[in-house]
Amino acid sequence: MEEWVISPSLRKHCESVAASMRYMANKCNDDVEMWVVNGLLHDFDYERYPTLEEHPFKGSEHLKQIGIDEKIIRAIMSHGNHTGVVRESLMEKALFACDELSGFVGACVLVRPDKDVNNLEASSVKKKLKDKAFARQVSREDIKQGAEELDVELDELISDVIKAQQAATI
């Protein structure tokens, strides 16, 4: 990721998703390292290949060439609905669910007076989700779909992502 991602905001996003994936892997009692790597790498090619025709296809080709585990590549390919790769594993579903929501939670923190994730409540995030003008680039439909695919209530997913971001700041 550090080799390909120059933008501080994209690095922060990848690290935020990795923190959410760490939390979710622990909650699911699964391979934490693999889930974290997924979070870190899911958008690593976005600056070089920002179009839907290229991202994450080009990056996944590179990952195959350097020998990255096929489970990671498949999860990266499934994190966008436009790729046609159906999410099957829990890790794939978690990556999709955590991607947009991690970014949205980060945006919610930035508009708080104290800018402290430790004081952020799930109810505040839900309220901001209803404001279509706030962080308009974030797909509310993807966030809702992510919770559904994980078979968790949206409130629980929001709380989990907030807890993940809080743990990452410790």
Report, as an integer, the average pLDDT of 140-163. 97
Burial class (CB in 10 A: 0-12, 13-18, 19+), 117: buried
pTM, rounded to two decimals: 0.94
The fold for domain 8-168 equals: Hypothetical protein af1432 (1.10.3210)
pLDDT at position 11 over 80: yes
pLDDT at position 23 over 80: yes
Question: How do residues 61-110 score in pLDDT, each as one tens digit?
Answer: 999 999 999 999 999 999 999 999 999 999 999 999 999 999 999 999 99
Q: Assess whether the previous peptide bond of 113 is cis (omega < 30° from 0).
A: no
pLDDT at position 42 over 60: yes
State how far the Cα of 74 lies from the Cα of 92, in Å rounded to an integer.
8
pLDDT at position 22 over 90: yes
- Domain boundaries in the chain? 8-168
State how far the Cα of 118 lies from the Cα of 165, in Å rounded to an integer.
8
pLDDT value of residue 169: 79
8 Cβ neighbours under 8 A, 6+ residues apart: none
pLDDT value of residue 170: 57
42 Cβ neighbours under 8 A, 6+ residues apart: 14, 17, 56, 75, 76, 79, 95, 99
Confidence class for position 2, pLDDT limits 50, 70, 90 = confident
Confidence class for position 17, pLDDT limits 50, 70, 90 = very high
